[in-house]
């Protein structure tokens, strides 16, 4: 039996959407107000969904202490109150929330070994959210 656990985390960060391979006019046309040279910020909501067998002894897919401490150390401390444009992960990649979602998923997939990482969902605003499942189909 495969079960799923989704946990939500919050952090704040800023970014400027700007592609160095495009002209200023192209960047403005593609990214609009998000291309502001001074950047802008978001209060992000990150949902991490893990999957696995329910442990018959604990009754859990994953110990929340393990998940929370990993996300705190590897995700929140890395991205909270940062200008995403200045981070190594985004030196060659535009720090869109889509790319942030992929980065968070990749960190979890690479280093969290207490459960299978099913997907990551990041809500940027009340109107925008993004999901990534590492090439697997996202099912609803």
Give the CATH number for residue 97. 3.30.479.10
pLDDT of residue 1: 77
pLDDT score, position 135: 79
CB-CB contact of 138 with 55 (8 Å): no
Angle, in degrees to the nearest 10, between helices 64-71 and 97-111: 130
Residues 22, 129, 74, 106, CA torsion sign:
negative
Q: How many domains does the chain have?
A: 1
Q: Is residue 140 included in any domain, yes or no? A: no
Residue 102 lies in a domain: yes
Active site annotation includes 38: no
Q: What residues in the chain have per-residue pLDDT under 70?
A: 137-140
Task: Establish whether 34 is a catalytic residue.
Answer: yes
pLDDT, tens digit (0-9, with 9 covering 90-100), for 23-35: 999 999 999 999 9
Strand order in the sheet with 2-15: 82-83, 2-15, 40-53, 116-123, 129-132
Q: Which pLDDT belongs to residue 42?
A: 97
Q: What is the DSSP letter of 58?
A: T
Which position among 40, 77, 81, 113 bears the catalytic label?
81
Question: From the candidates 34, 89, 98, 109, which is the catalytic residue?
Answer: 34
Which residue of the set 103, 118, 123, 124 is catalytic?
124
Tell me what pLDDT residue 137 has.
Answer: 65
């Amino acid at each position: 039996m495969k079960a799923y656990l989704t946990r939500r985390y919050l952090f704040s960060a800023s970014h400027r959407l700007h592609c160095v391979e495009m002209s200023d006019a192209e960047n403005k046309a593609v990214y609009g107000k998000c291309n502001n040279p001074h950047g802008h910020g978001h209060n992000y909501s990150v949902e991490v969904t893990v999957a696995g067998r329910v442990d018959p002894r604990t009754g859990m897919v994953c110990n929340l202490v393990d998940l929370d401490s990993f996300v705190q150390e590897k995700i929140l401390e890395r991205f909270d109150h940062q200008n995403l444009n200045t981070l190594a992960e985004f030196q060659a990649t535009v720090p869109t929330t889509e790319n942030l979602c992929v980065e968070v998923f990749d960190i979890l997939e690479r280093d969290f070994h207490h459960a299978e990482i099913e997907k990551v969902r990041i809500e940027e605003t009340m109107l925008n959210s993004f999901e990534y499942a590492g090439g697997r189909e996202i099912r609803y």
